[in-house]
Amino acid sequence: MDFLQLTEEQITIRDLARTIAEEKVKPVRAKYDEEGIFPWDVVNELAKVDLFRTFIPAEYDGLCENGLGVVNMCLVTEELSKACAGIALAFAGTALGTFPILLHGSEEQKKKYLPQIASGKKLAAFGLTEPQAGSDASAQRTTARKDGDHYVLNGTKVFITNGGEADIYTTVALTDPKKGARGASCFIIEKGTPGFEFGKKEHKMGIKASVTSELVFNDARVPAANLVGREGMGFLVAMKTFDITRPGVAAQALGIAEGAIEEALKYGHTRHQFDQSILNFQGLQWMLADMATETAAAKALIYALAARLDAGDTKDVAHLSAMSKVLASDVAMKVTTNAVQILGGYGYMAEYPVEKMMRDAKITQIYEGTNQIQRNVIGSWLVKEAARLNG
């Protein structure tokens, strides 16, 4: 469904990601899903063709000439996710870990870290979630105590994408625990920092090619120069980051849905029952029509929002980012479930990719804020709108 009006540069990026997805991701996706190991060989291929540069500004060795690179980030995530959402997450998780630096980092931080990420030699990750701080991200317990020209971090982050494989971690910790969320700050923490270790690695339902790990801080000494923004800005940095990256999760869901539709069409065309292609049955055609229509609607919202963000219009977008994620992830779950149905018993077998797509789709309704939390965000905005409409 290539109905978007893209620039020449965006078409080049999309086509490059599409080629890599076809040639490098599809052939190995089943292997990585089965083995659950991190796909460094594919990540190196992404780096080789400069895909990690696509959301990083030119002055920091990126390829993004103007704007925030959100359309580019979504295009790459979507194309890779058509083939494998788990492998795509090495890229998308890196974007999530990088946006706090892009949005709020100092010039020194940008000069130091962005070229390393742009080259694809170092991946990034974002650490917010803790055992007791999931949907209620404000219930942070990890602390960062100032000690001379360092901060000393203690605490544990859970469920961190790229955890253990990434080199650069943007992480939230409390510099003033008495103030709760308003006492949170964001730090850049490098792998290898003494006192910073990786804990439990999760076994998951889907996106098995992605690694999800604990980050454990035991008197980890982080240079004060690695504070992102100012003390107390950590929660704001996280929320502003999510405004930009939730369309990225939506693009991941979109790619999964598009991949599933493609598989359902390919299979349906060749599968014959009652002496005809199963695509002749109106029951399936209507199912596919809804799948295609809802996927197109999600795509339109994601890229309209991404273009607005790239144009620098990032104010009051939380509800739109939430809508893009809710819509695309709910569509992906529905589309992949229907794709399994269209393939019948074969859809349930690992031999065909749609059962993996269904397992992969589920996470897009959960991470970067569950869809219940997204609906809370949209609901709060609507209540404010109601007050505005009533003068």
Please list the active-site residues.
368
Query: Could you give the string, one character per residue 300-339, with x where binding to ligand FAD holds by CB under 6 A and - elsewhere?
Result: ----------------------------------------
| 376 lies in the binding site for ligand FAD (CB under 6 A) | yes
Give the shortest CB-355-to-ligand FAD separation in angstroms.
18
Nearest to 7 by CA among 56, 64, 47: 64
Give the shortest CB-175-to-ligand FAD separation in angstroms.
18
Strands 168-174, 124-127: pairing kind: parallel
- Which tokens sit at 121? 């030699």
Amino acid identity for residue 286 in this structure: W
Give the shortest CB-171-to-ligand FAD separation in angstroms.
9
| Residue of 113, 126, 187, 196 that binds ligand FAD (CB under 6 A) | 126
Q: Which is nearer to ligand FAD, 43 or 264 (CB)?
A: 43
| 159 lies in the binding site for ligand FAD (CB under 6 A) | yes
Distances (CA, A) of 231 to 47, 235, 236, 289: 34, 10, 11, 51
Q: Which is nearer to ligand FAD, 204 or 308 (CB)?
A: 204
| 284 lies in the binding site for ligand FAD (CB under 6 A) | no
| Residue of 55, 91, 169, 367 that binds ligand FAD (CB under 6 A) | 367
| Residue of 121, 372, 380, 383 that binds ligand FAD (CB under 6 A) | 372
Question: What string of DSSP letters covers 115-182?
Answer: HHHHTTSS-EEEE--BTTBSS-TT----EEEEETTEEEEEEEEEEEETTTT-SEEEEEEESSGGGGGG
Q: According to DSSP H, which parts of 177-233 are helical?
A: none
Part of the chain binding ligand FAD (CB under 6 A), chosen from 102-110, 255-263, 276-284, 360-368: 360-368
| Residue of 341, 366, 378, 381 that binds ligand FAD (CB under 6 A) | 366
d(CA 240, CA 215): 22
DSSP secondary-structure letter at 47? H
Amino acid identity for residue 20 in this structure: I
Q: Which is nearer to ligand FAD, 207 or 278 (CB)?
A: 207
| 253 lies in the binding site for ligand FAD (CB under 6 A) | no
Part of the chain binding ligand FAD (CB under 6 A), chosen from 73-81, 184-192, 309-317, 372-380: 372-380
Give the shortest CB-172-to-ligand FAD separation in angstroms.
8
User: Half-sphere exposure of 135 toward its Cβ, with a 13 Å CA cutoff?
Assistant: 10
Between 85-104 and 354-363, two packed helices, what is the crossing angle to 10 degrees? 30
Give the shortest CB-88-to-ligand FAD separation in angstroms.
13
- Which tokens sit at 328? 């695309």
Residues 128-157 that bind ligand FAD (CB under 6 A): 128-129, 134-135
The neighbouring-strand residues paired with 184 are 174
Q: Which is nearer to ligand FAD, 90 or 160 (CB)?
A: 160
d(CA 134, CA 331): 24
- Which tokens sit at 98? 């990088």
Q: Integer distance in angstroms from the first to the last C-alpha of the chain?
A: 42
Give the shortest CB-145-to-ligand FAD separation in angstroms.
21
- Which tokens sit at 214? 């604990």
Residues 207-226 that bind ligand FAD (CB under 6 A): 212
DSSP secondary-structure letter at 64? B
d(CA 311, CA 323): 19
Residue nearest to ligand FAD according to CB distances in the complex: 134
Nearest to 168 by CA among 268, 235, 99: 99
Query: Could you give the string, one character per residue 75-114, with x where binding to ligand FAD holds by CB under 6 A and - elsewhere?
Result: ------------------x---------------------
Q: Which is nearer to ligand FAD, 125 or 288 (CB)?
A: 125
Q: Which residues of this protein are in contact with ligand FAD, per CB under 6 A?
A: 93, 125-129, 134-135, 159-161, 204, 212, 363, 366-370, 372-373, 376
